[in-house]
Amino acid sequence: MREIVLDTETTGLDPAKGHRIVEIGCVELLNLIPTGQSFHVYLDPERDMPEEAFRVHGLSAEFLTGKPLFAAISGELLRFVDGCKIVAHNAEFDMRFVNAELAQVGLPAIEAERVVDTLALARRKFPGGANSLDALCQRYGIDLSRRTKHGALLDAELLAEVYAELLGGRQASLSLGSSGRTSLSTSGPLLASRPEPLPLRLSAQELERHRAFVAELGLEAIWASYDQAPNG
C-alpha cells in the first residue's frame, strides 16, 4: 500500500491570520517501507518571518526570498500525493495550511478521509503520555541526533519510522541515512524456530534437487541462510 508521510513548516499557527507554508517535505512509503522517493521544497511566503517561527525552523525571510511560490509547485505536490493516504503528526495543523494554500490558487482541498493522524494514533496507544514527535522517537529508540531544528523533510523521515512502530513495528528496523537511502537491519535471527517443527513435506529427491540449485547460486545466496536455520 502506497502512503505519503507529510510535514510542513510555516510562518505561524493560523493560515486565517495570514500565515503561510515555507517548507514541505514528503516521503513515499510502500507497505510502511520508504521507497527513497521524496518531495521537498522551500517556499517564498511573500511576507515576513516572525521571530517565534524562525526559532523553531531557522528559515529566515532572506533565505526564502526568491524560492518558488506555492502556486508554482502545487501541481507537482498533488501529483506526488495523488491516490493515497497522507500521514502527518497533528495532521489537522498541516492539512489546514495545505488546504488554505490550495484554496488560494483555486484548487480543491484534500479530503479529511485521506489523512492519517499519527498524533491521534499515539494518544490512543499511550493515553496520558508524551506524544510529540521527539517523545515518540525517544520511546522507540529512533536516532534524533540530526534534528537540531525542525525541518519538514527530516521530520517526515522520522515520522515514517514512528508510524511503522505505531502500527506494530517490524522485525527489521528502519535506518534513514542522510543520503536519503533506506537500509534495513534485523534485530533477531533471520528465521524464528517453531516450538515443534512442522512435518517435512518434501521428498528426498526434491531436497537433493533444491540443494544442487542453491549450490549453483553461490555462498551469498539468501537460501543458504534458510538451509542453515532450524527446521520449521
Q: How far apart are CA 58 and CA 173, in angstroms?
A: 30
Stated pTM of the model: 0.72
Distances from the Cα of 132 to the Cα of 7, 138, 200, angstroms? 14, 10, 49
pLDDT band at 71 (very low <50, low <70, confident <90, very high): very high
Please name which of 40, 212, 15 lies closest in space to residue 99, comparing C-alpha atoms. 15
What count of Cα atoms within 13 Å lies in the side-chain half-sphere of residue 72? 9
List active site positions. 150
Per-residue confidence (pLDDT) for residue 84, from 0 to 100: 95
Query: For the segment 172-199, what is each residue's pLDDT rounded down to a tens digit?
Result: 344 444 444 444 443 333 334 445 555 6
Q: How far apart are CA 34 and CA 195, in angstroms?
A: 34
Cell 538451509 belongs to which residue? 227
Query: For the segment 81-121, what is each residue's pLDDT rounded down to a tens digit?
Result: 999 999 999 999 999 999 999 999 999 999 999 999 999 99
Per-residue confidence (pLDDT) for residue 204, from 0 to 100: 79
Q: What are phi and psi of 79, to 5 degrees?
A: -65, -35
In the chain, CATH 3.30.420.10 covers 2-186
pLDDT band at 135 (very low <50, low <70, confident <90, very high): very high
Q: How far apart are CA 2 and CA 30, in angstroms?
A: 5
Residue 8 is classified by DSSP as E
Architecture of domain 2-186: 2-Layer Sandwich (3.30)
